[in-house]
Amino acid sequence: MSIDPDAIPADFNEIRDAIPADFNDIPDPMEAPPAPLSPARMPRLDTLSTPRASTRNRRVAAVALSLGWFAVHLAVYGIRQDLRDLSPVYVAAQVLLPFAFAVTAFVVALNPGKLGLGANIGSMLLLSLLGPASFLMVALGAPEPHVENAPGGFWLGTLVCLDITLAWAAVPLLGAALTLGRAFPASARYRSALVGAACGLFSGAVMNLHCPAVNRYHIAIGHGVPVIVATLVAALVASRWLRI
Question: Tens of pLDDT along 34-93?
Answer: 555 555 555 454 444 455 666 677 778 878 888 888 889 888 888 998 888 899 999 999
Task: Dump pLDDT digits (tens) for 1-12.
Answer: 555 555 555 555
Domain ranges of the chain: 66-242
In this predicted model, which residue has the larger pLDDT, 147 or 173?
Answer: 173
pTM of the full predicted structure?
A: 0.71
Measured in residues, the chain has a length of: 244
* β-bridge mates for residue 184, sequence order: 243
Cβ neighbour number for residue 92 with a 10 Å cutoff: 14
Q: What are phi and psi of 192, to 5 degrees?
A: -65, -40
Q: Following DSSP, what letter does each residue of 140-191 receive, concatenated? A: HHSPPSS----TT-HHHHHHHHHHHHHHHHHHHHHHHHHHSTT-BSS-HHHH
C-alpha count within 13 angstroms, C-beta hemisphere, residue 226? 30
CB 231 within 8 A of CB 127: no
Distance CA 137, CA 187 (A): 27
